[in-house]
Structure 1
Amino acid sequence: MGDDQKEEAPEILPFLLKGRNTPGDAEKIEEDDTSCGFWVFKGRFLQRFATEKMYVILYGFAGCVMTMTFAYFNGTITTLEKRYKIPTKISGIISVGNDISTMLTAAVLGYYAGNGHRPRWMGIGLLTIVAFCLLTGSLHFIYGAGEDALKLTREYGGQAEANESFRDTQNDQKLCQTSASGCVQDVGVWVPQIFLFGAQLISGVGQGLFYTLGIAYMDDNGTKSKTPAMLSLSTFLRMLGPAIGYSLAAVCLRMYIEPTMEPLISREDPRWLGAWWLGWLILSGLSLIAAMVLFMFPKELPSSRQRRVKNRQTDSKTETNIKELSFADMLRSIKRLAANKVYVYNTMASILYFFGYMAYWIFTPKYIETQYRQSAAMATMATGTVALGFSAVGVLLSGYVISKYKPSARAMASWNAVVDFMTVAGILCYVAIGCEGSDSLNSLATLSAGNSCSASCHCDYVHYAPVCAPENITYISACHAGCSDKAKDDLGRTTYTGCKCMASSNLLSDPETQFALDGACPVDCFNQFLIFLSVMCLLKLVGASSKSTNLLIALRCIPHEDKTFALGLGSMAASLLGFIPSPIFFGWLIDNYCLVWGKTCSNKGNCWLYDTKSLRYALNLTAAAFIFVAGFLNISVWYHAKNLKIFDEDEAVEKDLELTKTKSQDKK
């Protein structure tokens, strides 16, 4: 073979392997690989959008939509627990369904799909998100709003009044009874839980494809000097997703679960159920649009192909082999990655951080509702709009600093460790930010549940329907207060009388003191809530600043041929050791501090009241311990990253391309 033939071999070889194509066929395949569009949605007009900047923006938009769906689920999870009587431990298991499927598919799909048309694989992944949204929202159309929610509407009350005997039966269920009452029947209690878990399983496949392939595509089709800026911009756009998702949840939860009916309770009432299903219809439409957008992108950006051709012309060490896809090669890749100490320690540090902080990603709205007595809409809005806004700022600031000052790998690893220790300090502040009114409310509720007087009233299966005694003590229900009658006062409020099991009833025999008002006693925890929110915003700002540094270390510490597979393997490990066990563990931990369960005939149901003080200590101290260990692992990353290059891109090729473009334009 002559010298000219040797130079042409690397260019022609890939096409010969695809079926002995002629040079003309090779040019056509190369053109197809760099052309925008698919099926009938193609044309020269779309080609102008095949740029690095446009990919970063649209990839960020698609990521924004994806994170919106998961944030919306987290924002509505307490409502789902109440509606379908789901314990927190079970809701934790449901929420990790996507991580289970990510764990099972990310590495394998990343290995094989990474060598295919990656944007189209990402589009397929987003179609699974569409299915996830539709399946989750369809539960409402299958089961409806539920009888418990309908009972609390004016329309339902009007129907009940038409039937006197029915009304009496409903009243008796909440009052002290001399004989044991039947348990509350629940129909198909496991079916919604299985349905929700299955929907999460489907979404995990799309999540694994999107993140594993999307980041690798960005890094392969852009210059390394621009990667930090592109990562920070796409991450910033994705960070808008949780903010919008939580805001959408807050808007939907402000509406009653059956918007056409008028509720008789306020949004602050623990029994309030918002229209959780409404947002899923909106999110499914946005996910479909995002999938179509990613389908449009070419297999390789034109600018990336020009750099690749230029490198082949200037580098004597051209690529002469096509990577063989096989199980044996996959095992060799795993062995190489296992020997990479920077990759291993960085992945372990991320996993421990995720394990500890996952409790706040999923259960922060629930934490705010129980600790500071805020409505579901307020808790969701604070978690999403306010706190995640600071996260977005942190991502942008870190991207600017990295692009401008180009810190070393060791500087990035040391900052990751500092962020971990600052996060631990902030979480310890959470322990101190309690609300005395909320703590005392729950301890008094425990006393009312274990009251020997109310034990004779047979209140085990009475729904949670709090009443407030004159001495500002909340009882779980009128039955637990020993009330025997129900009436309306001059202001139209529901009052319960003859309440023999209240504290005042034991001291005074005056019937005028033996009454209770419908609803829980007011508790003011707003100032403590604002302090908690301030600390949380600071932690979001600091924590988000380490996202880009952590990802850059992960991208630069692995060889090019293992990049997509390493990201998939890291995602699988994070799911197996962090994302999956963490919500289950913290859900179990939260359930351990439940005081009042909504009992049914066959199920313990959801929790209505918690021991807030004990829960605050246990949850925060446990989470802080995991993140504290992650900080020391980042110190190990710092030690082993001394020779790691983050910005080693030779920009001469980029300048030659720009010069070539300028000359061609001058000739025209």
Structure 2
Amino acid sequence: MAAGLFMLSAFCLLTSLPHFIYGGGGVETFTVEHGFNPNEDELQIIKEQEKKKILCNGNLMDAVKCEVDEGNWGPQIIFFCAQLIAGVGAALYSSLGTAYMDDNVKKSKTPALMSLSFFIRMLGPAFGYALASFSVNTFVSPSLTPTITKSDPRWIGAWWFGWFFLGVILFFFAAILFLFPRQLPRAAERRRLAAIRRNEGKATGGEDINEENLPASFSDMVVTLKRLFCNKIFMMNNCASIFYFFGFTPYWIFTPKYMESQYQQTASDSNLYTGSVAFAFTAIGILSSGFVVSRYKPSARKMAAWNCFVGAITALGYLSYTQIGCAANDNAVVMNENPGSLTSCNSNCHCDYVKYAPVCGEDKHTYISACHAGCTDQIDTGLNTTMKLFTNCSCIPSTDAFSGGTATPGACPVDCKREFHMFLIVMCLLKFLGSTGMATNFLICIRCIDEKDKTISLGISFTITSLFSFIPSPIIFGMIMDSTCILWGKTCTGTGNCWRYDGPSLRYFLNSVTSFSIAIAVIFDILVWHLVKDLVVFDEKDEADEKEKTTEKS
């Protein structure tokens, strides 16, 4: 476990390494220490250059050009090595750490402990967002005094600081974990009693046969793998996990983008709802289920039945997403949808490489950008110059016959509050119910195999879900999302990122495939329910000892 943490520490430190090798990307020159002190004229020139990137430019020389960066293979190689180390370290820590915790507590306390562990892990992303916010708001070279502000497009935050900080913290915890014994007293006693029971059945001459002290061999590994792959409960449970994770993975990645495209939420609001509201309901579900299972100690069949119920409700919930759409947003008109097919009103604007930045015209239509709307000028309407108004827009009808229309930054607002609130309610319900099945599924997974196979079984489960869920799922769902794209960006080499999706198609395809995947997982859960009727989840000896201690105290 300590080795796994040391590897994760190395991953974080390696990720921050490009900053120390390549520096801050040249922005160090915009500091007091390097004598950079821009005057008002230079700032005005910069503002004019930024304007040209979004406005209609009749002069081809002023239009946005296709820019190709030379790139550098060095950072990419460093990041690849770091990710490789992270994969090995995470696998070691996850499989060995989980088994280590389970070995050293009473089996009746495992659900509560694991639920608490899952909850603490969930705090990681929340801490990560806070650390990321602090890092990007700090200048890339903290020892220097920048003369540019965070609103300046040349600003680069201290992206490396969070990785470096986490690497140091993980190294500290790994050193502490390295001091722990290989076995704590409870685990040692449990293994000793298990060895005695095995010897009573195998040894006739009083010889102590301790399999753990025998040297490991390839043939032993083959026997262990055969034993696990022939375990019907273990395999059915892993098959269910494959389809569950396959369906859940895109929502862990694309939920903010889904909210933006379906309900016209801002990126910041989407991340807020995903990271706070969803987190709260998931945390409540994890903690409550763990303590309920520890308190009432349900049988394996009852826990498997609960998993089936949760899976069925989840499949129906995701299917219901297909009906929770915002018609006003689906029918919102985006003018000049194909950047390569410009109309006569903006045919001379040279908007091919202008990035997607929707504007709302005074005609209440949304346009791809100020350039695509034919806007040739921009004025600041706020005291702090943050409020902009695009003017002389040739594609926007105007009440003034002698000038073009006007537009404001951002898409024209649509009323999707009711649909968005319905989506949030269903999402929170699914997050709560789904998290209640984590403890029960984990218990079935580790109790259906021999005690000595616990660590390798967790490693196999991690490998199986990675190969058949976490790797293919983002690729397949990414292809599904791309198939619903109606507006692509343009780069020097061809097609760029998708700028706008077809709302109904995205909603139906994404949620239907997810619901179908979860429905298949429920079928495997039903098979698990059928097979676990004789599975013992809680240690009867631990329960008897606990009752005996309670009686003695009274």
Q: TM-score, normalised by structure 2?
A: 0.81
Report the AA paired with residue 640 of structure 1: L
- Where 2:370 maps in the other structure, the secondary structure is coil
- Where 1:651 maps in the other structure, the secondary structure is helix
Report the AA paired with residue 128 of structure 1: M
Structure 1 CA distance for aligned equivalents of residues 178 and 89 of structure 2: 14
The structure 2 residue matched to 1:227, chosen from 110, 119, 123, is 110
Q: Which residue of 2 aligns with 1:499?
A: 393
1:329 aligns with 2:208: no
CA displacement, residues 136-166 of structure 1 (integer Å, 9 cap, x when unaligned): 455677585899xx9xxxxx99769428877
How much does 1:344 deviate? 0.8
The structure 2 residue matched to 1:397, chosen from 283, 288, 292, is 288
1:162 aligns with 2:54: no
Structure 2 CA distance for aligned equivalents of residues 348 and 124 of structure 1: 30
How much does 1:403 deviate? 1.8
CA displacement, residues 169-226 of structure 1 (integer Å, 9 cap, x when unaligned): 6544432436485422334288766655543332111110111111222233333333
1:175 aligns with 2:67: no
Change (3 A) 1:444 1:482: closer
Q: Which residue of 1 aligns with 2:94?
A: 211
- Where 1:606 maps in the other structure, the secondary structure is strand
Structure 1 CA distance for aligned equivalents of residues 118 and 230 of structure 2: 29
1:131 aligns with 2:22: no
Q: Which residue of 2 aligns with 1:426?
A: 317
The structure 2 residue matched to 1:374, chosen from 265, 272, 276, is 265
Whether the 8 Å CA contact 2:195–2:210 is kept in 1: the answer is no
How much does 1:596 deviate? 4.1
Q: Which has the higher helix share?
A: 1
The structure 1 residue matched to 2:445, chosen from 529, 534, 554, is 554
Q: Which residue of 1 aligns with 2:354?
A: 462
Change (3 A) 1:621 1:441: same
Structure 1 CA distance for aligned equivalents of residues 545 and 187 of structure 2: 10
- Where 1:609 maps in the other structure, the secondary structure is strand
- Where 1:515 maps in the other structure, the secondary structure is strand
Whether the 8 Å CA contact 2:336–2:343 is kept in 1: the answer is no
Report the AA paired with residue 177 of structure 1: G
Whether the 8 Å CA contact 1:145–1:258 is kept in 2: the answer is no
Stretches of structure 2 that go unaligned for 5 or more consecutive residues are 31-35, 202-207
- Where 2:408 maps in the other structure, the secondary structure is strand
Q: Which residue of 1 aligns with 2:521?
A: 630
Change (3 A) 1:627 1:526: same
CA displacement, residues 13-34 of structure 1 (integer Å, 9 cap, x when unaligned): xxxxxxxxxxxxxxxxxxxxxx
CA displacement, residues 454-476 of structure 1 (integer Å, 9 cap, x when unaligned): 34433111233433311122322
Change (3 A) 1:357 1:348: same
Stretches of structure 1 that go unaligned for 5 or more consecutive residues are 1-121, 151-155, 663-668
Change (3 A) 1:447 1:415: same
Whether the 8 Å CA contact 1:443–1:611 is kept in 2: the answer is no
Report the AA paired with residue 416 of structure 1: N
Change (3 A) 1:199 1:521: farther
Structure 2 CA distance for aligned equivalents of residues 146 and 465 of structure 1: 27
Change (3 A) 1:652 1:556: closer
How much does 1:547 deviate? 0.9
Count of residues in Structure 1 that have an aligned counterpart in Structure 2: 526
CA displacement, residues 457-507 of structure 1 (integer Å, 9 cap, x when unaligned): 3311123343331112232222211233444558765444332233x26xx
How much does 1:584 deviate? 1.8
Whether the 8 Å CA contact 1:129–1:202 is kept in 2: the answer is yes
Q: Which residue of 2 aligns with 1:533?
A: 424
- Where 2:439 maps in the other structure, the secondary structure is helix
How much does 1:636 deviate? 0.8
Report the AA paired with residue 286 of structure 2: V
C-alpha root-mean-square deviation of aligned residues, in Å? Answer: 4.0
1:200 aligns with 2:83: yes
- Pairing 1:461-480 to 2, within 5 Å after superposition: 461-480=353-372
CA displacement, residues 432-456 of structure 1 (integer Å, 9 cap, x when unaligned): 3333454344744627774422344
How much does 1:526 deviate? 4.8
Q: Which residue of 1 aligns with 2:376?
A: 484
Structure 2 CA distance for aligned equivalents of residues 355 and 563 of structure 1: 24
The structure 1 residue matched to 2:179, chosen from 271, 296, 306, is 296
Structure 2 CA distance for aligned equivalents of residues 257 and 376 of structure 1: 24
Q: Which residue of 1 aligns with 2:33?
A: none
Structure 2 CA distance for aligned equivalents of residues 559 and 294 of structure 1: 26
Report the AA paired with residue 395 of structure 2: C
Q: Which residue of 1 aligns with 2:204?
A: none
